[in-house]
Structure 1
Amino acid sequence: MSITTPESTEQLVRRLAELLPLQGPITAFAFLNPLQGMEDLPFIEALRQVGDVFGCEPFLPEGSYRDKMARGRITVDDLNEILAEESGFDGGHKIAGLVRHASLRLSMLQHSINPGAEHERRWMIAETDAIQRFRSEISHSVREKMIDSTRQWVSNEFPVSASAARLNSTDELMDVVQNAVPRTLLGGSGALDENAWECLSLALLWQLLRTRMQRTPNGCQGRTPPVRHRDLLLAASSEDSDRLVHEVLIRFCSVFLDQGYAHWKLPHRGAGFFRAFISLFSTGGFFTKRWLRPVAAEVQRIHQTGMTALDSLDESLSMLGIAPQEKESFVRGSLLALRGWAGMIWQTEERPDRVYIPSKHGTLIEFLAIRLILERYALQWLSRETLDYKGPLDGLREFIGTHHAEQDTEVTVEQRAFPILQLAQLHGWTPHAIADLSDSQWQELVHAVEKFSHFERRRVFHLAFERKLMRHALDSIAIRAGQPLISPKTPQLQVITCIDAREESFRRHIEEVAPDVETFANAGFFGVPMYYRGTGDAHYTALCPIVVQPKYWMVEDVVYALTDSGLQRARARRLLGTATHSFNTGTRGSLTGAVLTALLGPLFTAPLVGRILFPRLTAKMHRTARGFVAPPPITRLRLERPEGTPAGPDDDGIGFTLSEMVNMAERALRDIGL
């Protein structure tokens, strides 16, 4: 069903927001899963979409996997195992009577047969001897076989006499052969050396493949035309509208997402992203860039008409000529074009518990609405300056497609024929054998080659690479499985590390250098998600992965006997923090910065000299000074709350019930095997 209402647009944006990174304004480590928005799909199916969705590659280049084969990290046996496990794949079936299916795929994996894009293929044919000399890895016997077969075929099947049946044949392939072979060689007359016959064999094979491919339906999908105007404009003019838009958006987003560190606050920040932008850009300015000058009148119009962000978003989509069936793809591309900043805005809206200054509901929609306003004027400016297009934006894509059509969007006949030319050399398929294939056999061969696409080859490579790694690890484990368990009877130390990649390396290192230390692995937050506030903290901090929202609160309190001391030190920290913040902001001002630098600048040379000449004494002085404002050394956790009391940030809701603590401890011990 077409998405047409503002409500459905909002639902669409919120659904596509799941594709954005989960990292908010950087205050804590986050282990990101780039495909978290595709977790409902099988892994391989998600990888098939990453190119269109994120503009990324799902696997390493084929050349990288072949380098791993050369180093022994992928073996032919690994590839054969993966191919044998393919669903619906019959490796023993003979394709077109020429080669076993498994051998065909294996040769496509072991050898580079496709140069890539059409311009790369054209360069290879024009600048190299790709269709004049056999591949370097071709054996001498295969080379001799193909040359002898071509010589005999030309000599026996194509006599010189013009009255011969073959010359009068209407077979298009025979015409190709006659046109490709010099008249002096027909019927075996004339003489050429081996190199000349090699060049003739490949030229004849290439002409036959091109001719047969012209009559074969194209099963290869060309590149899908981009939906975003920016992509078409970039291809036609080499000018990027995103560059103009992002220059403005990045600066504005950085100020909007400020968590209290900036010297100047964004005016009307509390009104939201949309209204703050309108307020800031409605006045324009003398030094405003030329493409950006019409934006002032546009945001004034939006303000005067009382349009909401959703209204503006739908209006921009209409002005850009986005059809209902294109809406999802266009919105997705617009969000992901600046995915880092869009993701941070989404996180401050969706997870206000993780930031000091959150964003109100609908901020991501406001971000997208502003983005499309800027994009409209950037496109207008660039299309007028580079393409001399002065019409409405809803006709820009059609104009570019008509007058500046991108080259190489379709898979050409030569692109489809070139891999088969390479395979013919690898397997010894002679021109005579190619010419004698029936139409059904030829189509079977083409289908088998094109079905094993660039993506499929890399998929098999990667599975084989992982298979080799898995087998190596399991072999090592199997060797140790039959040996007695080596563990300290009385460990000197028991260490529990996080299960992420960083901590696991520490754990393995400890096991190697200290056999008397017993190690375990668990989630870094021990399965206890909570908001924590220490004695020196002003706000709660979430102690858990970013994908988990805590339901418990924990507070560190100063013991009763040191309550007064704790309050005094807290006031001292607040005073010192205020003074430090004022000093830092003051030094950035033109007048106050000059005064403070002149008065206090020399004083900062003393700690600098001290750290260089007397580092130990200076460090001791720093520790002593910090001790006057640090929280008291004796504290306690407000750990337990009464049974039946709901968890919350208030006094009675802080902590865990006894049953909750027992369950959490039991689960953690069970997870580590104790």
Structure 2
Amino acid sequence: MTKKDKAFWPTTHALDAAADQAARAIPPVWPLASSVAVNPYLGQASETLAMVGARLERISGQPVTMPRSWYQQKIASGTINDADLADALAIAPGGRRPANVAALKAAAQVVPPARRAVPTIADLAAAASGIDWPGLIAERFGAWAGGYFDEGQALWAAPRGYGAYAAWRAVATHDLTPEIIGLSGFAAHVSQAPERAADALADAVQQLGLPAAASETYFHQMLMSLSGWSQYARYLLWQAELVGKSDATITDFLSIRLVWETALYNRYAAQIADAWRDAVTVHAAPLAPDADHVVNAILQEAADRAAQRGLAQILSASETNVLTARPALQAAFCIDVRSEVYRRALEAVNPTIQTLGFAGFFGLTASHRRFASDVHELRLPVLLNPGLTTTSGGPADAANDQSSRYKARATRAWG
């Protein structure tokens, strides 16, 4: 780092730590082959709902709770009662919370003003030029990432052996689309960017005058702007850490996104410099929930308590549809939320059908490759690692297996 850079960042380690913190704020998403439900607020599990509301409002402009009108209807109908509101109010942190249930009900009647996210440089450049730069970034990044993460779907696979930043840089230096749209010199800008992702990140924060205090929400915002690609990269880090390793894909993504920001800033600095300084000031301000965030969190807590109370009543009620005779069909399903729709549908079709939940389908935690397949199927719970690897056939079938794979690829390519 240069002396100027150190005025913003005391050590290189501080910058690396900020990038890592932003990466862990992103929830992982599993591929469709092993899809699993993930809490979208996994990266904010240690924070209160009010704080999460303040955080995500700053970086995305989106609320984390329902509209006030939804809570108003629940209160008016009696679904949320005074006891729910009182209990939620009692456990809320002091400070900005309403004084009593009556004040909370009054606050629920007030619709807070719409909030906007702090603009990125891409947003500011779009406003200055009339060009949808955020949309173009998403499109060009997605086009590259689709090839980079290919697992056999593409007929012409992207080269392997490069980290995400290096692979993107090799492609972006020849991508003329941004220049055609209006970002002149983009390919040269990427070519002149540092070769290492960490150096590119340090270079970007210096160019943009970004202090360490602003990095927490700005870096998070940058990764969120890449949508599901950041979540998939977070999944790769999750998987690597399961076996004691690491993966730099998601922090490489942060460097990539910041190279776009610096390119746009250099192009439109004359029009957006003041607005960008204002944005940095907002990002650098301490993050704290305001009164609206606190009220929203309390109302959501009351709604949760009402739902829990209703569920407890259902579970405590005696079961009315108890089979006394041998069921016409008894089917056991994996304990998984995705199986519930099938279980309920079967039981609704015929009351003599009984379904059960079972958690013992995984006898062996194996990674299996079928004959003539390039795909290793993980036949175990998705949060675990395989303990062994199996294949269809044995050593004597290896030559035939390879030949069949080549023939399948040729057929797919040429018909």
Give TM-score, length-normalised by structure 1.
0.49
**Which residue of 25, 31, 41 maps to 1:35?**
41
1:56 and 1:544 map into 2 onto residues whose CA distance is 36
Partners in 1 of 2:298 and 2:70 — Cα distance? 13
Partner of residue 286, structure 2? none
Please name the residue that 1:103 is paired with: 102
* 1:313–1:549 distance in 2 versus 1, CA, 3 Å: same
Which residue identity lines up with residue 344 of structure 2 in the other structure?
R
Query: Counterpart of 2:168 in structure 1: which amino acid?
Result: F
Unaligned 5+ segments in structure 2 are: 1-5, 93-97, 283-288
Aligned to 2:322: 486
Counterpart position of 2:185: 294
Q: 1:332 aligns with which of 217, 220, 230?
A: 220
CA distance in 2, matches of 1:399, 1:555: 57
Please say if 1:320 is aligned against 2:208. Answer: yes
What SS does structure 2 have at the residue aligned with 1:270?
coil
| 1:618-637 equivalent positions in 2, closer than 5 A | none
Number of equivalences: 394
Rounded Cα–Cα distance in structure 2 between residues aligned with 1:332 and 1:574: 42
| C-alpha displacement of 1:336 | 1.4
Name the structure 2 match of 1:243.
135
Q: What amino acid is aligned across from residue 251 of structure 2 in structure 1?
A: I
Q: Compared with structure 1, are the counterparts of its residues 102 and 21 closer, same or farther at alpha carbon in structure 2 (3 Å cutoff)? A: closer
**1:610-663 superposed Cα distances (whole Å, 9 cap, x missing partner):** xxxxxxxxxxxxxxxxxxxxxxxxxxxxxxxxxxxxxxxxxxxxxxxxxxxxxx
Aligned to 1:531, what secondary structure does the other structure show? strand
Task: Provide the C-alpha distance between the structure 2 equivalents of 1:265 and 1:537, rounded to a whole number of angstroms.
Answer: 16
RMSD: 4.3
> CA–CA distance in 1 between the matches of 2:28 and 2:251?
17
In the alignment, which of 276, 293, 305 is matched to residue 455 of structure 1? 293
Alignment of 1:384-395 (within 5 A): 384=270, 387=271
2:255 corresponds to: 369
Q: In 2, are the aligned partners of 1:309 and 1:366 still within 8 Å (CA)?
A: yes
Which of 16, 23, 28 does residue 17 from structure 1 map onto?
Answer: 23
* SS class of match (1:497): strand
The reply on whether 1:83 has 2:80 as its aligned counterpart is no
Is the 2:369–2:392 contact (alpha carbons within 8 Å) kept by the matching residues of 1? no
The equivalent residue for 2:146 is 254
Q: CA deviation at 1:577?
A: 0.7
Alignment of 1:394-473 (within 5 A): 397-398=276-277, 453-473=291-311
Deviations 1:15-44 (A, max 9, x none): 322232422554442323211112233556
Map 1:213-232 to 2 at 5 A: 226=118, 228-230=120-122
Q: Is the 8 A contact 1:274 1:370 kept in 2?
A: yes
1:555 partnered with 2:409: no
Q: 1:21 to 1:528 in 2, by over 3 A?
A: farther
Does the CA-based 8 Å contact 1:273-1:363 persist in structure 2? yes
Q: Is the 8 A contact 1:494 1:519 kept in 2?
A: yes
Amino acid at match of 2:113: G
- AA aligned to 2:153 is Y
Q: 1:283-318: per-residue Cα shift (whole Å, max 9, x none)?
A: 576994264332333344346xxx422111101111
1:474 matched residue in structure 2: 312
Partner of 2:95: none
1:520 equivalent in alignment to 2:406: no
Shift of 1:541: 1.7
> How far did residue 551 of structure 1 move?
3.8
Return closer, same or farther for 1:545/1:10 CA change in 2, 3 Å cut-off: farther
**SS of the residue 1:519 aligns to:** strand
Percent identity over the alignment is 21
| 1:308 pairs with one of 173, 179, 196 | 196
Say which SS state the counterpart of residue 161 (structure 2) adopts: helix
The answer for the alignment partner of 1:645 in structure 2 is none
Which residue of structure 2 aligns with residue 381 of structure 1? 267
Deviation at 1:235, TM superposition (A): 6.9
What is the rounded CA distance, in whole Å, between the counterparts of 2:265 and 2:60 in structure 1? 22
Q: Is the 8 A contact 1:227 1:326 kept in 2?
A: no
Q: Distance in 2 between matches of 1:113 and 1:399?
A: 29
Q: What pairs with 1:587-666 in structure 2 (closer than 5 Å)?
A: none
Deviation of residue 543 (structure 1)?
Answer: 3.0
Change (3 A) 1:514 1:103: same
Q: CA deviation at 1:480?
A: 0.7
CA distance in 2, matches of 1:577, 1:497: 34
Q: Residue 368 of structure 1: SS of its match in structure 2?
A: helix
Which structure carries more relative contact order (alpha carbon 8 Å, separation 6+)? 2
**C-alpha distance after superposition, 1:264-294 (max 9, x if no partner):** 444x552333333333344576994264332
CA gap 1:532/1:491 in 2 versus in 1, 3 angstroms: farther
Structure 1 residues 541, 557: closer, same or farther in 2, change over 3 A?
closer
| TM alignment of 1:148-167, pairs within 5 A | none
The separation in 2 between residues aligned to 1:42 and 1:244, in whole angstroms, is 35
Counterpart of 1:351 in 2: which secondary structure? Answer: helix
* Structure (1 or 2) with the larger CA radius of gyration: 1
